[in-house]
Structure 1
Amino acid sequence: MKHVTYAEKAHLMGDDAADALVEYARALALADTTETVTLRAIDLHGNEVEATFLLSASTPILVESTNSGLEVPGNEEIVVNMRHATAALLDPPAVQPEDRSGDPRPRFDEEL
């Protein structure tokens, strides 16, 4: 479990969610873009909450380890999505040639 501090508020969440969040924020900053991510977390009062993070190049996020014995809120699907999005930002797919077989526009080598 880790503390994630964002906008002067701390939330507890699983290690995988906290680590994926900070890596995704880094990838978004490198790509000069923004995104929002909603994760289940535990607030300072011990309540399970959904926290939405606005991630951008100027987003300060602090992730700290903790020895909390609380049950980790489930974020498995969101973590997988963030990891895929992070990979796509850091290593985008190569550009593929366009398939023009169904293109209705005339080609330059065709008669009109």
Structure 2
Amino acid sequence: MARLATTSDVFNAIAEPQRREILVLLRGGERPVTELAQELGITQPGASKHLRVLREVGLVRDRKVGKQRMYGLDAGGLRPVHEWVGGFERFWNESFDRLDEYVQSLEQAGREQR
């Protein structure tokens, strides 16, 4: 079965570590591609390819400022990831509640033995 192109799916797009790092860098505000490439230690064309993928899945927006293109985070594109991860919230909350009950029972047993 053929894998979906990374440009069609936000999950595939963020599976690449350098793309996730770009998103982290853009949390601090807009940046030009040259600055992003320098921060990542990659070439400008390499950074541009990653930015194109992120833009096509709706995670990054860009605007022209003079001769530069400024890239910014469009966190709304992370909604599918947030919704998917949110589906596990109940599982983790219940697991932590059970752990808390267990720890409390151990503490109570320790107090009773004294």
TM-score range, shorter chain: under 0.3
Q: Going by fraction, where is helix more abundant, 1 or 2?
A: 2
The one of the two structures with greater contact order (alpha-carbon pairs below 8 A, sep at least 6) is 1
More strand by share: 1
Taking structure 2 as the reference length, what is the TM-score of the superposition? 0.25
